[in-house]
């Protein structure tokens, strides 16, 4: 934390002296209350609307349930069936490839844009709004837009490629290009992570750059040795949310390809949807949902475990000082 803020903390401490009236809460108590108030909507929503169905879906995953009769207890049968289900493994592979490519891609592109949007030039608010705009536009409408952009004959993407002498592929109609096309669409909604990156970038004290410059560090070294470590906690946050988001993608694939051609874009979420709402196999779909949850949980924990090796916090720095 910069030296600027230190005195302010001291002042608040002075105000919250032990001889305050009984109705005045201490700073820490007030902060705690603020914290809980801000968290309340999410936590109440979770407890009221999500927890019940989630617990029900755990139980349902051990049953055969078509919403017509009562669920029939089948023990681990759904999970056993999943292990031998060719399409489940295929969808796992599709989701895996999608996440493996789209998460780093989105992180890199959004960081690049955030750095550009952090420059001090005129009209920057305009550019920031422009780059954030796609995030607020709805999934299905945007997917329809992408369908036209990917049109092999009249689409803007292939028109551009042909200008530079490349014969563009049949994006959504061929097995080898449909998934890459979906990955490209994931770049549409990077506004959210750009915003978080920006906040992180603006929290880096200017004097760090100044002193590095005096020490003779060039642009790249300043980026590599100051910016990257100083925003590592933001990288961490974006990475975790990115992984979760990538494994959840649904609307774009549902509209653009519906999982085809020949299941080459059958993401796990699409396969879950098919089983739940097309075949009405609620037990089996619940089992898929829980396997999906375990994968997300495992990956998230893995990232958390790796954090001490690459994520730097201000408090730690202060402690080691």
Using CB under 8 A as the binding rule, whether residue 73 contacts other proteins is answered as no
Find the binding residues for other proteins in span 272-291 (CB under 8 A). 272, 274, 276-280, 282, 285-286, 289-290
Structure-token match 């617990």, residue found: 55
Q: Between residues 12 and 119, which has the closer beta carbon with respect to other proteins?
A: 12
- Which segment (108-116, 126-134, 143-151, 208-216) binds other proteins by CB under 8 A? 143-151
Using CB under 8 A as the binding rule, whether residue 315 contacts other proteins is answered as yes
Q: How many residues bind other proteins (CB under 8 A)?
A: 71
Find the binding residues for other proteins in span 8-67 (CB under 8 A). 9, 27-28, 31-32, 35, 42-43, 46, 50, 53-54, 56-57, 60, 65-67
Q: Which residues of 115-145 are buried (b: 16+ CB within 10 A; e: fewer)?
A: bebbeeeeeeeeebeebbeeeeeebeebbee
Q: How far is CA 24 from the centre of its chain?
A: 40
287: Cβ–Cβ under 8 A, 6 or more apart, which residues? Answer: 61, 78, 79, 82
Using CB under 8 A as the binding rule, whether residue 92 contacts other proteins is answered as no
- Which segment (91-99, 100-108, 196-204, 294-302) binds other proteins by CB under 8 A? 294-302
Find the binding residues for other proteins in span 214-253 (CB under 8 A). 233, 236-237, 240-241, 244-245, 247-248
Closest distance between other proteins and the C-beta of residue 218, in Å? 31
* Residues counted in the chain: 321
- Which segment (106-114, 152-160, 187-195, 213-221) binds other proteins by CB under 8 A? 152-160
Q: Between residues 135 and 174, which has the closer beta carbon with respect to other proteins?
A: 174
- DSSP letters of 95-136? HHHHHHHHHHHHHHHHHHHHHHHTS--TTHHHHHHHHHHHHH
**Gap between the Cα atoms of 124 and 59, Å rounded:** 52
Structure-token match 């929290």, residue found: 203
Closest distance between other proteins and the C-beta of residue 216, in Å? 32
Q: How far is CA 38 from the centre of its chain?
A: 21
């Amino acid at each position: 934390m910069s030296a600027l803020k230190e005195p302010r903390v001291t002042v608040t401490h002075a105000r919250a002296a032990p001889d305050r009236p009984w109705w005045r809460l201490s700073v820490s108590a007030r902060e705690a209350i603020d914290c809980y108030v801000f968290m309340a909507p999410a936590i109440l929503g979770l407890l009221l609307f999500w927890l019940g169905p989630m617990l029900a879906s755990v139980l349902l995953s051990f049953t055969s349930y078509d919403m017509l009769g009562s669920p029939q207890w089948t023990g681990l049968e759904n999970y056993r069936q999943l292990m031998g289900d060719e399409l489940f493994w295929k969808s796992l592979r599709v989701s895996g490839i999608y996440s493996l490519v789209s998460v780093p891609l989105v992180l890199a592109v959004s960081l690049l844009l955030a750095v550009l949007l952090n420059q001090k030039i005129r009209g920057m608010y305009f550019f920031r709004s422009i780059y954030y705009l796609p995030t607020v536009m709805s999934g299905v409408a945007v997917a329809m837009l992408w369908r036209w952009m990917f049109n092999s004959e009249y689409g803007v993407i292939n028109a551009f490629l042909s200008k530079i002498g490349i014969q563009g592929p049949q994006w959504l109609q061929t097995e080898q290009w449909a998934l890459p096309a979906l990955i490209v669409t994931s770049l549409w909604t990077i506004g959210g992570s750009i915003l978080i990156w920006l906040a992180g970038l603006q929290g880096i004290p200017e004097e760090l750059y100044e002193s590095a410059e005096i020490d003779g560090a060039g642009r790249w070294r300043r980026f590599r040795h100051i910016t990257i470590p100083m925003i590592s906690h933001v990288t961490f946050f974006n990475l975790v949310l990115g992984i979760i988001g990538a494994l959840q993608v649904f609307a774009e694939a549902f509209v653009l390809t519906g999982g085809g051609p020949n299941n080459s874009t059958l993401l796990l979420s699409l396969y879950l949807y098919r089983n739940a709402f097309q075949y009405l196999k609620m037990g089996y779909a619940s089992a898929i949902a829980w396997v999906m949850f375990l994968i997300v949980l495992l990956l998230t924990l893995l990232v958390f475990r790796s954090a001490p090796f690459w994520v730097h916090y201000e408090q730690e720095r202060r402690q080691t000082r």
